[in-house]
Chains A and B, each alone.
Chain A
């Protein structure tokens, strides 16, 4: 891993972004249309382009990093596998009953999501393990086979297995999985103990069911992608961005897709946190707008908001630590992101009450916006931006010429005529509605948590984030907007700054004062050895691995624990003091109760020697553009203004808006009265305080 190039690929609903970083630190990027029917095709197209740009060979690539929406789209569109579930006799309905709570109160119109495995395919088998892990009744193999025969007869593709108390003794689940796989090799099988070996039958069953549901889709996709990359001469290992913003080997993603549902999106947020940290920016709203969706995440006091449980549901997610969204529960570590179905390709329409609506339906890459001339007939946010002059008449560095005339005609026809507006005002309306939709996502992670957006800075990226960021910021009173270098491909960039992660966890139940040094050390050593082995399989040698270890402690009888950093030699008194201090910080008093140990953790992170250092990003920039700026008519504040259009690489010093700053990956819209200055990390900062409307 000492030399060679790393390729990072982020697939969105509309564009597929690629960033290639050469061994010497120079980076190249490109954007190609996504190919949703077989997303890997766009990767291969982009690969060829970026190799040509960089004059590298496929064999020079030593790592491929990848963010994919295959998992989330499969869940969102309910296009996953036909699933079966095998459970302990008496507990067929655990998945459907769930935890009973509703996301809002006093709302009797609420709907519980349909379970991913319908009751007919939830089959019980006779077996029982006690809470001590002892076998009370052996597994009835015949009933497992009977379930398998029903599954085969009725076209079930993927099966989850979750038995009561299996977290204490995995034998029955393993045995049932083997019986099924032997007799029905066509089935994909997920045993709960392989995904989430923790107590809590509902959370474990649900996490396992989601895994089973998305597994065939993600596995199939990764196989096709790997095969195609190989035929193009890329034999480098493939790493997938997980929902927590770290990277894991594709082998892990094939078997445990539930950890990869927010792949990509999470990497953008982690990248933003990394870049923010290098600039000393501690309070950021991360705003990412692509072709199909826009999302927001929060970095408060330097910490990116994350969660250990996550419920996936279509529509707006309202983050709350106490009440979840009432969707499909996954107990996996996840970056906490609010998302709305509103992107550049979102289609504008008029609802029966005469209001303009935008999204969630997207024209995607095909047919795309009207102005792309690929057959799209319904106006999109991009069409509005082109008509209003915010976007150039060619995109992706000239690769795509835009048909402004058709865009204007479609907007007039669909929105303008019914509302008696001219094309510009109708387009302006579309843009305003899109902005309002995205404001909702940002509100969810700021105002709805009691944080005043006026105290925060917006960190904007994604192909379309910079086109809307200043408007969105102004609506919420956010005074500053930060744009990273190459904002249009920042998520892919963010993955280049991610580490390959592996986490080990072992239950260790004891009172803190009675912890056995030898036993604890042996466990830690064992976990460390495991982690080294896992990361070695992913190409990382011990010197490249950073380790940290923690001990989870709680007061006797509690359910939740606090993680305390564990340093050697083990000092019980110091650990107790650290726990009590943390507890007092959070809960305002120092308990005198006895403290118990729940588990030990080892975190291992493989650090590529070519991981991006954001502080050095500027060095990787290409040559300066010295052309004189052109002028374009732009519809700011409902009037046409003559606005200078400059290329991104020509921006050196501070200057005032209005301005349109163009680059191959995106367009930054700077409103009148705002001022722009470059920052240390090769990005730009827009100060909105002078903006008057």
Chain B
């Protein structure tokens, strides 16, 4: 460590930044209006230095955070010399720093006197940004223009004065304006918390801060390089699949090749599918983000989550591919592709650091959107619900069930919140028996979630996957059970496709059965007591035990 760097001050500033983003994350939760932000916590916050480098990330959606550097570059480029105290910049355009339209990025430059100190950054998934389907998340749009309102980087506040033109355009183009504007206010309140706290840190430590910020980022880089250097040089490849884009049933390959070269990682996605018709194309920024977070899982836990980590990883994907699409490819349901990138990179890295990683989890959340009008007088509603999740089996223990995908750290929407806010009755929310992939260490169980519509009609939009390509096992472990979508109308159940948009009527019941996690290691090596315990708790059936483990109950 540099001699001019005092270890206690370094620790205080490092943790101080972690606390600032923690406070910011808490502020969003307290001030947001929509359940998707307020309860499910589909948002992210981070603090960047004056050069736009990430200093610290809150324990929020990892998938968002790695996309901040590319967005920040666009902001710094377009507003060079045009940033002032009180300014706030927003964007959501995937072709200008954004990821998909519902995710609105907000940046607030932070000043002390006239000097730029850094930026508060808050990304929130808005419950609706217009477009053809409620929730603006549809996987079956075919160009970006169907997906909602596009916001190129622009000022929402100009030296503290709100941009009424932009606010009015937003208000008139979204289905639930009070939630969207309310959540923008929550983002703004949160940026202010970041501004206040970073200013406090600056008041305490002054110009010295810059030295410590540099040191912190270098420290992140050093730890990352050290870890990579310990891995054997070589190429490690893996391929996983998305079931289809909703138009074509053809499997969509995601191919990655990880090259370890000294203390640097090169991760290339050549061989992945060309861009597709449906809205599951992913911006390169989002692919980078998905890749960074997976590499981060293979590092030691004390590596700080800052820009230094990213310096050690080079991510490339061919232009015109599903992982680097050209305008006007639709991208609304791109999260699914991000999950599959995570799974693919995980499969490659598991060849290098199996003790840090796991077999495939549920494959990312399933998104259930239901929207329409209900009550007297008729009021609009848009439910965007996300179903999560299970982890795959690990080198020394079973996968977890009832857990966020590691790329997110999102929560679930409480049953009692859904029922109080929407014309929906929840029939079931439970673990899905027998859905785990068998292994010496089994995967976690998937979840079941069942909704009954109480409004007269609604548009239902489903984005599921892992129907055809179940989560993989590792080192002899079995894949998990595939997912299923089911619908009951007039007492009859029928199976729905993985991705679908359709109109439903009162008392229709929708049931999603999520995939579980894949198994790790040979099932024949599983401890019989663990099998007994799962049987005793009803997590697996005797049939499952017999088929997968050759186990007969005494």
With the chains together, A603 CA to B516 CA distance in Å? 48
Residue contact B179 to A557, C-beta cutoff 8 Å = yes
Chain A residue nearest to B191 (CB atoms) is: A588
With the chains together, A125 CA to B430 CA distance in Å? 14
Give the chain B neighbours of A102 by CB distance below 8 A.
403-404, 406, 409
For A102-123 the 0/1 string (1 means CB < 8 A from B) is 1111111111100000111000
B243: interface (CB < 8 Å): no
Chain B residue nearest to A198 (CB atoms) is: B416
Return B364 CB to nearest CB of chain A, in Å. Answer: 13
**CB interface residues, A 592-648, toward B, < 8 Å:** 593
Residue contact B414 to A108, C-beta cutoff 8 Å = no
With the chains together, A247 CA to B31 CA distance in Å? 33
Chain B residue nearest to A202 (CB atoms) is: B414
Residue contact A100 to B389, C-beta cutoff 8 Å = yes
Give the chain A neighbours of B404 by CB distance below 8 A.
100-102
> Contact partner of A322 among B26, B356, B416, B447, CB < 8 A?
B26
Given A97-B412, A557-B179, A587-B192, the answer on whether A112 and B403 have CB atoms closer than 8 Å is yes
Residue contact B301 to A450, C-beta cutoff 8 Å = no
With the chains together, A88 CA to B394 CA distance in Å? 33
A98: interface (CB < 8 Å): yes
Residue contact B406 to A200, C-beta cutoff 8 Å = no
With the chains together, A454 CA to B403 CA distance in Å? 39
Residue contact B11 to A447, C-beta cutoff 8 Å = yes
Residue contact B22 to A323, C-beta cutoff 8 Å = yes
Q: How many A-B residue pairs have CB under 8 A?
A: 201
Return B429 CB to nearest CB of chain A, in Å. Answer: 6
A555: interface (CB < 8 Å): yes
For B530-552 the 0/1 string (1 means CB < 8 A from A) is 00000011110000000000000
With the chains together, A443 CA to B301 CA distance in Å? 18
Give the chain A neighbours of B293 by CB distance below 8 A.
106
| Shortest 4 CB-CB contacts between residues of A and residues of B | A588-B192, A450-B16, A97-B402, A587-B189
For B405-417 the 0/1 string (1 means CB < 8 A from A) is 0100111101111
Q: Which among B27, B296, B419, B447 has the highest number of chain A CB atoms within 10 Å? A: B419
Give the chain A neighbours of B75 by CB distance below 8 A.
none
Q: List 10 A-B contacts (CB under 8 A).
A: A97-B431, A106-B305, A112-B403, A119-B431, A131-B420, A136-B425, A322-B26, A323-B22, A557-B179, A560-B31
B466: interface (CB < 8 Å): no
A311: interface (CB < 8 Å): no
Chain A residue nearest to B65 (CB atoms) is: A105
Instruction: Please name 7 further chain A to chain B contacts, defined as beta carbons within 8 Å, in addition to the given A106-B406, A322-B26, A588-B189, sorted by A numbering.
Output: A98-B402, A101-B411, A110-B400, A165-B416, A322-B59, A555-B182, A557-B34
With the chains together, A103 CA to B406 CA distance in Å? 11
B178: interface (CB < 8 Å): yes
Residue contact B356 to A108, C-beta cutoff 8 Å = yes
Residue contact A131 to B428, C-beta cutoff 8 Å = no
Given A106-B297, A452-B204, the answer on whether A558 and B30 have CB atoms closer than 8 Å is yes
Residue contact A199 to B416, C-beta cutoff 8 Å = yes
B18: interface (CB < 8 Å): yes
Give the chain A neighbours of B426 by CB distance below 8 A.
90, 164
With the chains together, A119 CA to B419 CA distance in Å? 25
Give the chain A neighbours of B537 by CB distance below 8 A.
118-120
Give the chain B neighbours of A476 by CB distance below 8 A.
8
Residue contact A558 to B33, C-beta cutoff 8 Å = yes
Residue contact B192 to A589, C-beta cutoff 8 Å = yes
Residue contact A100 to B31, C-beta cutoff 8 Å = no
Residue contact B411 to A120, C-beta cutoff 8 Å = no
Residue contact B31 to A96, C-beta cutoff 8 Å = no
Give the chain A neighbours of B394 by CB distance below 8 A.
108-109
Residue contact B406 to A105, C-beta cutoff 8 Å = yes
Q: Which of B193-201, B273-281, B313-321, B475-483 contacts A (4 or more CB under 8 A)?
A: B193-201
B368: interface (CB < 8 Å): no
Give the chain A neighbours of B27 by CB distance below 8 A.
586-587
With the chains together, A165 CA to B62 CA distance in Å? 33
With the chains together, A449 CA to B26 CA distance in Å? 14
Residue contact A100 to B388, C-beta cutoff 8 Å = yes
A405: interface (CB < 8 Å): no
A302: interface (CB < 8 Å): no
Return A13 CB to nearest CB of chain B, in Å. Answer: 30
Residue contact B400 to A111, C-beta cutoff 8 Å = yes
Residue contact B539 to A119, C-beta cutoff 8 Å = yes
Residue contact A558 to B402, C-beta cutoff 8 Å = no
Residue contact B15 to A447, C-beta cutoff 8 Å = yes
Given A97-B431, A100-B411, A108-B394, the answer on whether A130 and B15 have CB atoms closer than 8 Å is no
A315: interface (CB < 8 Å): no
Return B391 CB to nearest CB of chain A, in Å. Answer: 7
Residue contact A96 to B402, C-beta cutoff 8 Å = yes
Return A37 CB to nearest CB of chain B, in Å. Answer: 31
With the chains together, A201 CA to B412 CA distance in Å? 11
> Contact partner of A164 among B30, B178, B179, B415, CB < 8 A?
B415
Residue contact B429 to A94, C-beta cutoff 8 Å = yes
With the chains together, A101 CA to B408 CA distance in Å? 9
With the chains together, A165 CA to B420 CA distance in Å? 9
B440: interface (CB < 8 Å): no
Chain B residue nearest to A454 (CB atoms) is: B8
A301: interface (CB < 8 Å): no
Residue contact A130 to B419, C-beta cutoff 8 Å = yes
B171: interface (CB < 8 Å): no
Residue contact B412 to A99, C-beta cutoff 8 Å = yes
Give the chain B neighbours of A101 by CB distance below 8 A.
41, 59, 404, 409-411
B12: interface (CB < 8 Å): yes
Give the chain A neighbours of B8 by CB distance below 8 A.
447, 452-454, 476-477
Residue contact A97 to B447, C-beta cutoff 8 Å = yes
> Contact partner of B59 among A323, A556, A591, CB < 8 A?
A323
Give the chain B neighbours of A586 by CB distance below 8 A.
27, 189, 193
Residue contact A108 to B22, C-beta cutoff 8 Å = no
Give the chain B neighbours of A443 by CB distance below 8 A.
11
Give the chain A neighbours of B32 by CB distance below 8 A.
558-559
**CB interface residues, A 71-101, toward B, < 8 Å:** 90-94, 96-101
